[in-house]
Structure 1
């Protein structure tokens, strides 16, 4: 019987996962180098949907000291249900201090203010001698000579933008918000298809908000409110190089509006943004 790849990947979610990467990884805090490694790996703790960098202890320039009394950064939600089966996942918003595998909490110090709980040594033989580092601890990360934003990129995560001629209608409580026959469909791993629309196809007045978020694959998003729904849409004014087709287009949360594609109403997906 054929194995569905998505089901195979979902089945691995409760496991501690890792993948070596052939990239030089560096991190700084306040202009001080914390680590420099060409032997890094990506590590997903059980339940995590995005990875963190792990590097050999020998590649850490900062001083690492045990900090067992510190719980670490625990902001954001705990496990949330995602998908039709309601699988429990830890989203990127869940703080680094929420560890789901045994290990030791470490503080990184450089002589300046210590980064408490910013490192974690898993108790796993395949990761022996490595420490996982909180992406939000250092203020600057590079892969080779290019900056990384949001979180480390998953090599098995894709974001594909495709021009389309499908008829997209978006409404809320019966009020039309947008209608387009020239959307750009974005197919992103483990996420609903998003339809990015030209601003000329917006019917409702969209008001900019102060909310911004960062996507490791697409860049910094600015948010828009419409129809009494705060932050119901977003746009990438200056997307990252891999997402340039999305520049200036507007997408809506299908979780919060009613979407029709070629006259067929879509069910609202169940995601962390529902």
Structure 2
């Protein structure tokens, strides 16, 4: 499966969805369709929606041809306007408000009648009656939470931060396992942070800082339904901390995960 996924990763991929998709821009519903298509540009990790041009109720202006480029892995931090396949950049406007490069028409015969829309350039997205955030969910991305009795110890430079025999392990596609702990098993003094992030699979995360590390702990206090088992548990940013599981110190995932993805999909930095 990994080999098959690796071969496809560098290709333009698309798949229809039966979800009703609506898009709001400047208070106007500019898309209301049941014919949306999920599209993954080559080397882009998360999908975006393409909608039939006939279902797009906005002014669309050609903004020039696109030469494929960008870094090896197009993660969610790489802007929509960086494209890895040939096509035409489009400006989207309604009521005099123009969003430059917020649309894209790939030079692919199967998508010639569709327009990809920049998720972040739009004001609201809905699947059926539920608002979605961040980006559309990948139907091939899983998040599995499992209660465990493994002994987990988390330290920062030899200083104990938390220790438990009742973690919940979260296994997420192409990401390292994360260890979620009951707050009662945290011994470090935590200070609430103003930082918030959003995961389309788990929901909005709140953050805490230790005395020496800002925003190193997070929690999904009211997670999305599929992530219910991790509600009010806390996870530590083990990319910079030491995590020992059943007496064995784990490798820090950060750079190793990125390298693994590059090697798995044959993508250079």
TM-score by length of 1: 0.88
Whether 1:7 and 2:22 are equivalent positions in the alignment is no
- Pick the aligned partner of 1:19 from 15, 30, 35: 15
Deviation at 1:11, TM superposition (A): 3.0
Contact kept in structure 2, 1:172 and 1:227, CA below 8 Å = no
Any idea what the Cα deviations from partners look like across 1:12-60, whole Å, max 9, x if unmatched?
Answer: 2211111111111110013201111111111111111000000110110
Say if 1:163 and 1:182, in contact at 8 Å, map to a contact too. yes
| Alignment match, 2:77 | 93
Partner of 2:243: 259
- Measured in 2, the distance between the counterparts of 1:239 and 1:194 equals 15
SS in structure 2 opposite 1:231? Answer: coil
Q: Quick one: which of 110, 116, 141 aligns to 1:126?
A: 110
Deviation track 1:182-241 (CA, whole Å, cap 9, x = no partner) reads: 111111111001111000011111222222111001111112222512222211121111
Shift of 1:7: 3.1
Q: Which ranges of 4 or more aligned residues in structure 1 deviate by more than 3 Å? A: none
Once the two structures are overlaid, the 10-residue window that deviates more, 190-199 or 109-118, is 109-118
The separation in 2 between residues aligned to 1:211 and 1:69, in whole angstroms, is 38
Question: Structure 1 126/69 Cα, relative in aligned 2: closer, same or farther at 3 Å?
Answer: closer
Aligned to 1:54: 50
- Are residue 209 (structure 1) and residue 205 (structure 2) matched? no
Q: Displacement of 1:70 after TM fit?
A: 10
Equivalent residues in 2 for 1:1-274, closer than 5 Å: 5-68=1-64, 79=71, 88-269=72-253, 270-271=256-257
| Secondary structure, aligned partner of 1:114 | strand
**What is the RMSD of the two structures over their aligned residues, measured on CA atoms?**
1.7
For 1:83, the equivalent position in structure 2 comes to: none
Distance 2:65 2:112 in 1: 22
Q: 1:227 to 1:174 in 2, by over 3 A?
A: farther
CA–CA distance in 2 between the matches of 1:91 and 1:222? 22
- Count how many residue pairs are aligned between Structure 1 and Structure 2: 254
Q: What whole-Å deviation, never above 9, does each CA across 1:124-182 have from its counterpart, x for those lacking one?
A: 11212111100001111111111111110000001111111111111111111111111
Rounded Cα–Cα distance in structure 2 between residues aligned with 1:253 and 1:11: 31
Q: Match of 1:204, SS?
A: coil
State how far apart, in whole Å, the 1-side matches of 2:16 and 2:236 are: 35
Name the SS for the 1:156 alignment partner: coil
Paired with 1:215 and 1:248, the residues of 2 have a C-alpha distance of 15
Q: Take 2:74 and 2:213, find their aligned partners in 1: how far apart are those partners?
A: 26
Distance of 1:68 and 1:128 partners within structure 2: 16
TM-score by length of 2: 0.90
